[in-house]
């Protein structure tokens, strides 16, 4: 898969459906819900 295909695939999903880059423990420690991939902050309910 080329880099361009990966980019297209990433943009096909909304940010909160995107796979998180870090290990699952990151979700427990980041209570603000910051997604490291795009820097957006979501309410805890949307996670």
Domain of 35, in residue numbers? 3-46
Higher pLDDT, 1 or 39: 1
Secondary structure E strands in the chain: none
- Can you tell me which residue has the tokens 């990151």? 26
- What DSSP state is assigned to residue 35? -
Structure tokens at 3: 């880099």
Is the full-model pTM beyond 0.85? no
Structure tokens at 28: 């427990």
Counted domains in the chain? 1
34 close to 22: Cβ distance less than 8 angstroms: no
Q: According to the model, what pLDDT value does residue 5 have?
A: 78
Residue 22 has pLDDT above 70, yes or no: no
Residue 2 has pLDDT above 80, yes or no: yes
Alpha carbon distance 18, 21 (integer Å): 9
Q: For the chain, what is the radius of gyration of the CA atoms?
A: 12
């Amino acid at each position: 898969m080329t880099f361009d295909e990966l980019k297209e695939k990433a943009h096909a999903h909304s940010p909160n459906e995107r796979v998180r880059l870090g290990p699952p423990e990151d979700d427990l420690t980041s209570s603000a819900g910051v997604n490291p991939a795009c820097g957006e902050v979501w309410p805890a309910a949307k996670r």
